[in-house]
Structure 1
Amino acid sequence: MIKSLLIYVVSFAALFFVVLHLQHWLLEANNQSVRFSYYDTNIFFAVASALICIHLQLFSSIKSLQPQLGYIYLPTLFIKGGLFFFSFQDAVFALENLTVSERLCLLSSLLIFLLLEVFFVIKILKQNTPKILS
Protein backbone atom coordinates (compact mmCIF):
# COMPACT_ATOMS: atom_id res chain seq x y z
CA MET A 1 0.00 0.00 0.00
CA ILE A 2 2.85 2.40 0.75
CA LYS A 3 4.18 1.80 -2.75
CA SER A 4 0.87 2.80 -4.33
CA LEU A 5 0.57 5.88 -2.12
CA LEU A 6 4.08 6.92 -3.13
CA ILE A 7 3.19 6.35 -6.80
CA TYR A 8 0.21 8.70 -6.40
CA VAL A 9 2.27 11.44 -4.80
CA VAL A 10 5.11 11.19 -7.33
CA SER A 11 2.72 11.01 -10.29
CA PHE A 12 0.73 14.07 -9.29
CA ALA A 13 3.88 16.02 -8.39
CA ALA A 14 5.49 15.20 -11.74
CA LEU A 15 2.32 16.08 -13.62
CA PHE A 16 2.09 19.33 -11.67
CA PHE A 17 5.54 20.42 -12.80
CA VAL A 18 4.91 19.38 -16.39
CA VAL A 19 1.58 21.24 -16.57
CA LEU A 20 2.99 24.30 -14.80
CA HIS A 21 5.97 24.63 -17.12
CA LEU A 22 3.91 23.85 -20.21
CA GLN A 23 1.38 26.55 -19.31
CA HIS A 24 4.15 29.01 -18.55
CA TRP A 25 5.87 28.24 -21.86
CA LEU A 26 2.63 28.54 -23.85
CA LEU A 27 1.69 31.82 -22.21
CA GLU A 28 5.16 33.25 -22.82
CA ALA A 29 5.29 32.01 -26.42
CA ASN A 30 1.91 33.57 -27.22
CA ASN A 31 2.64 36.75 -25.24
CA GLN A 32 -0.41 36.13 -23.05
CA SER A 33 -0.97 36.66 -19.35
CA VAL A 34 -3.51 35.56 -16.79
CA ARG A 35 -4.86 37.67 -13.96
CA PHE A 36 -4.68 34.91 -11.37
CA SER A 37 -1.93 32.62 -10.17
CA TYR A 38 -2.04 29.51 -12.33
CA TYR A 39 0.58 28.08 -9.96
CA ASP A 40 -2.01 28.17 -7.16
CA THR A 41 -4.79 26.67 -9.26
CA ASN A 42 -2.49 23.90 -10.49
CA ILE A 43 -1.33 23.09 -6.97
CA PHE A 44 -4.95 22.96 -5.83
CA PHE A 45 -5.94 20.50 -8.57
CA ALA A 46 -2.83 18.36 -8.02
CA VAL A 47 -3.18 18.18 -4.23
CA ALA A 48 -6.94 17.66 -4.30
CA SER A 49 -6.70 14.85 -6.85
CA ALA A 50 -3.82 13.20 -5.01
CA LEU A 51 -5.71 13.36 -1.71
CA ILE A 52 -8.77 11.80 -3.31
CA CYS A 53 -6.69 8.91 -4.65
CA ILE A 54 -4.85 8.45 -1.35
CA HIS A 55 -8.05 8.42 0.67
CA LEU A 56 -9.74 6.02 -1.72
CA GLN A 57 -6.74 3.68 -1.49
CA LEU A 58 -6.88 3.86 2.31
CA PHE A 59 -10.64 3.22 2.30
CA SER A 60 -10.10 0.22 0.03
CA SER A 61 -8.12 -1.46 2.82
CA ILE A 62 -11.25 -1.44 5.03
CA LYS A 63 -13.18 -4.58 4.17
CA SER A 64 -16.62 -3.13 4.93
CA LEU A 65 -16.04 -0.11 2.66
CA GLN A 66 -14.79 -2.01 -0.39
CA PRO A 67 -18.24 -2.44 -2.00
CA GLN A 68 -18.97 1.27 -1.44
CA LEU A 69 -15.82 2.76 -2.99
CA GLY A 70 -17.58 4.01 -6.12
CA TYR A 71 -20.21 5.73 -4.02
CA ILE A 72 -17.52 7.24 -1.83
CA TYR A 73 -15.74 8.66 -4.89
CA LEU A 74 -18.77 10.35 -6.48
CA PRO A 75 -19.26 13.17 -3.92
CA THR A 76 -15.56 14.04 -4.02
CA LEU A 77 -16.05 15.69 -7.42
CA PHE A 78 -18.63 18.08 -5.96
CA ILE A 79 -16.58 18.65 -2.83
CA LYS A 80 -13.52 19.48 -4.94
CA GLY A 81 -15.60 21.91 -7.02
CA GLY A 82 -16.96 23.61 -3.92
CA LEU A 83 -13.54 23.89 -2.33
CA PHE A 84 -12.15 25.34 -5.55
CA PHE A 85 -14.92 27.93 -5.62
CA PHE A 86 -14.35 28.98 -2.02
CA SER A 87 -10.55 28.93 -2.33
CA PHE A 88 -10.43 31.02 -5.50
CA GLN A 89 -13.54 33.12 -5.05
CA ASP A 90 -11.58 36.36 -4.92
CA ALA A 91 -8.84 35.43 -7.38
CA VAL A 92 -10.78 33.78 -10.21
CA PHE A 93 -14.50 34.17 -9.68
CA ALA A 94 -14.27 37.88 -8.86
CA LEU A 95 -13.02 38.56 -12.39
CA GLU A 96 -15.86 39.83 -14.51
CA ASN A 97 -14.82 38.24 -17.81
CA LEU A 98 -12.19 35.56 -18.25
CA THR A 99 -10.05 35.72 -21.36
CA VAL A 100 -9.64 32.67 -23.57
CA SER A 101 -6.14 32.02 -22.20
CA GLU A 102 -7.44 32.22 -18.62
CA ARG A 103 -10.25 29.80 -19.40
CA LEU A 104 -7.85 27.41 -21.11
CA CYS A 105 -5.45 27.53 -18.15
CA LEU A 106 -8.21 26.57 -15.74
CA LEU A 107 -9.88 24.00 -17.97
CA SER A 108 -6.66 22.29 -19.07
CA SER A 109 -5.44 21.98 -15.47
CA LEU A 110 -8.78 20.61 -14.32
CA LEU A 111 -9.02 18.04 -17.11
CA ILE A 112 -5.40 16.86 -16.99
CA PHE A 113 -5.41 16.26 -13.25
CA LEU A 114 -8.89 14.74 -13.44
CA LEU A 115 -7.70 12.27 -16.08
CA LEU A 116 -4.87 11.04 -13.88
CA GLU A 117 -7.22 10.92 -10.88
CA VAL A 118 -9.76 8.83 -12.79
CA PHE A 119 -7.01 6.52 -14.04
CA PHE A 120 -5.94 5.77 -10.46
CA VAL A 121 -9.54 5.52 -9.20
CA ILE A 122 -10.33 2.94 -11.89
CA LYS A 123 -7.27 0.92 -10.84
CA ILE A 124 -8.37 1.04 -7.19
CA LEU A 125 -11.93 0.04 -8.06
CA LYS A 126 -10.75 -2.83 -10.27
CA GLN A 127 -8.57 -4.17 -7.45
CA ASN A 128 -11.54 -4.25 -5.11
CA THR A 129 -14.19 -5.61 -7.46
CA PRO A 130 -15.15 -9.14 -6.48
CA LYS A 131 -14.53 -11.73 -9.15
CA ILE A 132 -17.75 -13.30 -10.42
CA LEU A 133 -17.47 -17.02 -11.02
CA SER A 134 -18.90 -18.18 -14.32
Structure 2
Amino acid sequence: MIKYFSIYLLSFVGLYFFAITLHDWVFHINGVYLRFHLKYVYLFFAIISFLICTIFKILTFVPKAKEQLGFFYMPTIFLKVILFFFVSY
Protein backbone atom coordinates (compact mmCIF):
# COMPACT_ATOMS: atom_id res chain seq x y z
CA MET A 1 0.00 0.00 0.00
CA ILE A 2 2.82 2.40 0.87
CA LYS A 3 4.45 1.55 -2.46
CA TYR A 4 1.39 2.74 -4.40
CA PHE A 5 1.15 5.97 -2.41
CA SER A 6 4.83 6.72 -2.91
CA ILE A 7 4.50 6.04 -6.66
CA TYR A 8 1.48 8.36 -6.83
CA LEU A 9 3.28 11.03 -4.83
CA LEU A 10 6.45 10.86 -6.92
CA SER A 11 4.41 10.92 -10.12
CA PHE A 12 2.40 13.98 -9.18
CA VAL A 13 5.42 15.84 -7.80
CA GLY A 14 7.38 15.03 -10.96
CA LEU A 15 4.55 16.09 -13.24
CA TYR A 16 4.08 19.27 -11.20
CA PHE A 17 7.70 20.35 -11.62
CA PHE A 18 7.79 19.28 -15.28
CA ALA A 19 4.65 21.29 -16.10
CA ILE A 20 5.84 24.38 -14.22
CA THR A 21 9.25 24.27 -15.89
CA LEU A 22 7.77 23.72 -19.35
CA HIS A 23 5.23 26.52 -18.99
CA ASP A 24 7.81 28.96 -17.62
CA TRP A 25 10.19 28.12 -20.44
CA VAL A 26 7.53 28.51 -23.17
CA PHE A 27 6.29 31.79 -21.70
CA HIS A 28 9.84 33.11 -21.32
CA ILE A 29 10.77 32.22 -24.92
CA ASN A 30 7.63 33.92 -26.29
CA GLY A 31 7.85 36.94 -23.98
CA VAL A 32 4.51 36.26 -22.30
CA TYR A 33 4.07 37.51 -18.74
CA LEU A 34 1.07 36.52 -16.66
CA ARG A 35 -0.51 38.55 -13.87
CA PHE A 36 -0.89 35.44 -11.72
CA HIS A 37 1.34 32.52 -10.81
CA LEU A 38 0.67 29.18 -12.44
CA LYS A 39 2.49 27.46 -9.58
CA TYR A 40 -0.53 27.73 -7.31
CA VAL A 41 -2.90 26.43 -9.97
CA TYR A 42 -0.69 23.42 -10.67
CA LEU A 43 -0.17 22.85 -6.95
CA PHE A 44 -3.93 22.79 -6.36
CA PHE A 45 -4.53 20.29 -9.16
CA ALA A 46 -1.59 18.11 -8.10
CA ILE A 47 -2.81 17.90 -4.50
CA ILE A 48 -6.43 17.23 -5.44
CA SER A 49 -5.45 14.62 -8.05
CA PHE A 50 -3.19 12.88 -5.54
CA LEU A 51 -6.03 12.79 -3.02
CA ILE A 52 -8.46 11.39 -5.60
CA CYS A 53 -6.03 8.65 -6.63
CA THR A 54 -5.32 7.80 -2.99
CA ILE A 55 -9.01 7.58 -2.13
CA PHE A 56 -9.67 5.42 -5.19
CA LYS A 57 -6.83 3.09 -4.22
CA ILE A 58 -8.27 2.77 -0.71
CA LEU A 59 -11.72 2.10 -2.17
CA THR A 60 -10.37 -0.83 -4.19
CA PHE A 61 -10.24 -2.76 -0.91
CA VAL A 62 -13.99 -2.34 -0.39
CA PRO A 63 -15.70 -5.06 -2.47
CA LYS A 64 -18.90 -3.12 -3.21
CA ALA A 65 -17.07 0.11 -4.00
CA LYS A 66 -14.51 -1.57 -6.27
CA GLU A 67 -17.17 -2.31 -8.86
CA GLN A 68 -18.49 1.26 -8.74
CA LEU A 69 -15.22 3.21 -9.06
CA GLY A 70 -15.96 4.19 -12.66
CA PHE A 71 -19.17 5.84 -11.53
CA PHE A 72 -17.33 7.70 -8.75
CA TYR A 73 -14.75 9.13 -11.15
CA MET A 74 -16.94 11.56 -13.11
CA PRO A 75 -18.44 13.31 -10.06
CA THR A 76 -14.97 13.73 -8.54
CA ILE A 77 -13.74 15.50 -11.67
CA PHE A 78 -16.79 17.75 -11.58
CA LEU A 79 -16.21 18.47 -7.88
CA LYS A 80 -12.54 19.22 -8.56
CA VAL A 81 -13.50 21.89 -11.11
CA ILE A 82 -16.15 23.37 -8.80
CA LEU A 83 -13.69 23.42 -5.88
CA PHE A 84 -11.12 25.14 -8.09
CA PHE A 85 -13.59 27.89 -8.96
CA PHE A 86 -14.45 28.41 -5.29
CA VAL A 87 -10.79 28.52 -4.26
CA SER A 88 -9.69 30.83 -7.09
CA TYR A 89 -12.43 33.41 -6.55
Query: What TM-score bracket applies, with the shorter chain setting the length?
Result: over 0.9
SS at match of 2:36: coil
Could you tell me how far apart the structure 1 residues matched to 2:52 and 2:10 are? 14
TM-score normalized by structure 2?
Answer: 0.93
Which runs of 5 or more residues in structure 2 are unaligned?
none
Identity of aligned residues (%): 37
Two-structure CA RMSD over aligned residues (Å): 0.9
Return the structure number with greater helix share: 2
Letter in 2 for 1:58: I
Matches within 5 A, 1:54-73: 54-73=54-73
Aligned residue for 2:14?
A: 14
1:31-86 CA deviation, whole Å, 9 max, x = no partner?
11111110000101111111111110011111221111111212101100001101
**Larger RCO (CA under 8 A, 6+ residues apart):** 1
After TM superposition, the runs of 4+ consecutive aligned structure 1 residues lying more than 2 A away are none
Could you tell me how far apart the structure 2 residues matched to 1:34 and 1:75 are? 31
Could you tell me how far apart the structure 2 residues matched to 1:10 and 1:34 are? 28
Could you tell me how far apart the structure 2 residues matched to 1:3 and 1:21 are? 27
Higher alpha-carbon Rg? 1
Letter in 2 for 1:72: F
Q: How many residues of Structure 1 are paired with residues of Structure 2 in the alignment?
A: 89
Matches within 5 A, 1:1-134: 1-89=1-89
Could you tell me how far apart the structure 1 residues matched to 2:2 and 2:63 are? 18
Could you tell me how far apart the structure 2 residues matched to 1:52 and 1:43 are? 14
